[in-house]
Structure 1
Amino acid sequence: MPATPHVRALRLAPLFAALGALAGCASAGGNKAAEPSAQVNALYAQLDQASKGYDTALQQAREGNAQASQQTLSSSLEQLKRASAQCGNSPGCDPQRFFAVYDRLLRLKDGSFSLGDDVEVSGEQTPEGSATAGKTGAASLPQAQRSVTLLHGQKLSELIAMNGPVKAALEMWLTQWRSSLMDAYVNYQYMRYQMWPAYQSRDLPEAVLFGIMAKESGGKVHAVSRSGAAGPLQFMYATGLRFGLTSDGGFDERFDPALAARANAEYLDEQLGIFNNNLEVTLAAYNGGEGRMRRLVGDDTAVSFYDPRIYNQLSQETRDYVPAVLAAAWLFLHPDSYNLRFPKVDGVPGNVTLKRPASLSELTVCLGSAGGMESGWFRTLRNLNPRVDPQAALPSGTRLVVPKLLEQPYAARCADGPWPILANDLHTAVIPVVAAAPEPAPSRSSSTKSRSYTVKRGDTLVGIVRKLGCSDVQEVAQLNGIRQQHIKPGQTLKLPACR
């Protein structure tokens, strides 16, 4: 059961006391031998003011003024970012003071008083007068619930250690993996109404679901790894079977986003129970195998994933995997704090009934960039209709799941007119088939003439071929129906005649 607002406020009190102490240290004189300059003291004063602003935001939230609280909180964080940037260019200023307070503010923002602990949010009931009343799918999920970050009663922010590996993964997501992160976010938003309810029902943070999906497949439902892991959450075949992902009429259910999310939530719930809610170790088990992690951890379920006894025994893939998932989850919660802006996505689900035969590929062509989707709708259509062959023509009357915002463009562009004709013309284009060139006939001399050789002690097939200089090893082995190493003294070998 969630804690009452009064209890939560008391629980946060020690954190705010520590925050105040930290800010106080920033404004203190410190060592007289290294007295900060007036410029540095001014920056430290801004640090102190940002901390006090957060206290004000907390009080506003307790008084029920959530909007003012959010504005004060955002202002405090922005002030802190500006001051920390100036600190880097000010001799004598200690940037670690700013980073420490910034990290604390960000963690307290995550699931604390504004959209988390101090606001009761229910996924089971929606007020009749609310904006989401009467809606289905993604539209029925209160946006405030995005910030409910409790993992079995623990704040996700308190479980993510902002250490070197996680910071390095944050940089990767913000640089080299940035486009993959953006694609994963867009893909997830259109599947969110199918995937998140499984996590929500088991008290698992949505951010973790996104982090796993971003790292595993980027939100590509039909992704298959070299090792055979499949689907948006990359289940191995045996593990998928264990959690009910079977074959339905020839369709591999690992590719179904709703079923895969349900199985993933069950898996994480099981492993969190085994590892006493140790999220990092549980993620390592998901990537590297639960059996291996149980052997490494033993009875010490509180052991850190980064403990050398654990960390040094894992593959490089698993050592990279865990911080990458946590970093993606952190960015999902706090994009603005890392100068990241996710696109706005209208993920409300809808459907169309085909007015004329078409494949998903043809629909992609006639829909074009409708709704502002510059990269086209192929991936989304595939994700939402995982059982459909994208190249196969579907008959009229087929019902397809699409984002609701595509219902009108389909009626306007794809039911009639020039675009579906063009799309069909492109889709049914015939590619010439080039017949393979016939293999050259074997040389008469090599096929009709041969000689023999008697194997001597110490001979090898390679040595025989080199000595005679007119055949290759494979040719001799095939001619005699033997393996290279299977020759013995006294054996007579057929050898192709020299040309």
Structure 2
Amino acid sequence: MKFVLLFLFLVMLAGCLPGTQNPQTALPPPATEESAAAKSELIQPPRKVPGRPNYSVLAEPRPSRPQEPSPDEVGDVLEHLHLADDAPPRAGHEGLTLLKDELIFDFPLVDNEQVRSYIDYYTGEGREVFARLLHRAERYIPFMRRIFQEEGLPQDLTYLALVESGFNPHAYSHAHAAGPWQFIQSTAEIYGLNNDEWRDERRDFEKSTRAAARFLSELYDRFDGDWYLAVAAYNAGGGRISRAMDENGAEDFWELCDNSSLRDETRNYVPKLLAVLTIVRDPAAYGFTDLPAAEPFTYDVVRLPEATDLELAAQLCEISTEELRALNPELKRWCTPPHAKDYELRIPAGSKSRFEKLYAQIPSDRRANYHRHQVAKGDTLSTIARRYNLRQGDLIALNKLKNPRILPLGSVLLLPLHPGMPGTAEAQRKSTPTASKTYKIRKGDTLWAISRRFGTGEKELRAWNGLTAKSTLRPGQILKVAKVKAAGKKTAAVKGERKIVYRVKSGDTLSAIGRKFAVSAERIQSWNRLAKNHILRPGDKLTLLVRDGNRS
């Protein structure tokens, strides 16, 4: 019995000693298939991210979404941003992830051939333009980062606006996307961005950045916390990315690039962002030193109780109208929206007190230099709105009409038009024909054909005859077609010049087109009767007089 007890005691003692585990439990877990990222040469031994086999995070990963709240030429910029798309590398997508603990950045980076190709381009052939973009970024990035921080997003994602538009509020794509974050109309409406005859909030930096943050946040949640897929979906649409993943069984962005029919634009979209972030995290290392300091985007906000002329507001701030428009890029016309109550206008920082004091001294009827229309027999609100290409709602709000169906004969309506604009009486007086030459419209006539026949312009014909862009010509209608008193001779090509018609492309500007054909932007404006602040749209046609051999 003693021997039995001694034996049991020795067995129990042996179980308490180290180094006596079952050999099977001491073995490492079975090896799993390694991704290309794991096989890459890493700065530090990588730690695999569960469920994300195509890239590795160094040391302790930062959370993808923070838990704590922590004018150049657009055409050249966009052209350079997309120039390297022609032949992007298609192999070796996966790479090593770079995260430096000493830097306070919050978006995971991957280093691979595709990313390096964009780094090489932005630091090589595209260096000059990229340096201008970095300079412009300093103006907007600080308040954009604040907005993304408030929305709980990685602040690095603000540089996606550089990839989208080069931080230009007037960027406009062939897909009709507008603003620094390139919202199309349908998506803009979902996120509360208004676009009407008076303003396009897609062009407003603060409003569109807030909308972009919400959009990216929803995409992040939709793709289970994968920022690369969320960013790709910002470009291609969430539905398209989801379908591509289902069709190809892909689990992440790099695998999706290899196995699906994504457009090259979307394949290159994430690598572009990663290249940009790699450079901005240490610009000096890539030769971007001594960049000029950019003036920060700071301003005061004043609430305007009624529509106000921008020229007047600029005078009260002692700045130019162009400077005021730069602070309020959403505004399309010469005054603030007449239907908007307490419109928030941005003015230079430090000028609010003076502005409000001077503004209060200006009578209400002098805050906007409106055109006045005297109601004539047969006038209705709808006919007046059509004649001047206005919205009935704007007329009702501006004139505070209680019964829009009844317009007393001889009463005066205020119209949100500058005196002298096409269609107003002032404009017609300024452009009165020298003679009463007229033309009777025939079936099939167009205003363009009539203008060419009589050697004048469509704008002049509209002004002389009180027509708008939406007016319909009817057979038998009589038009005044004589030339204007002050109009100079029609531009004619001199010897050695030829006339061409140029179709505007996405990203074009007058200055860029002028350099291309060795003519000045001012001459292009003159030949095509364009306003100083005219915005080109893809598909517009411009008439140019160029010398043979001058196209660059």
Give me the TM-score of the superposition, normalised by structure 1. Answer: 0.44
Higher helix share: 1
Q: TM-score, normalised by structure 2?
A: 0.40
Structure with the bigger percentage of strand: 2
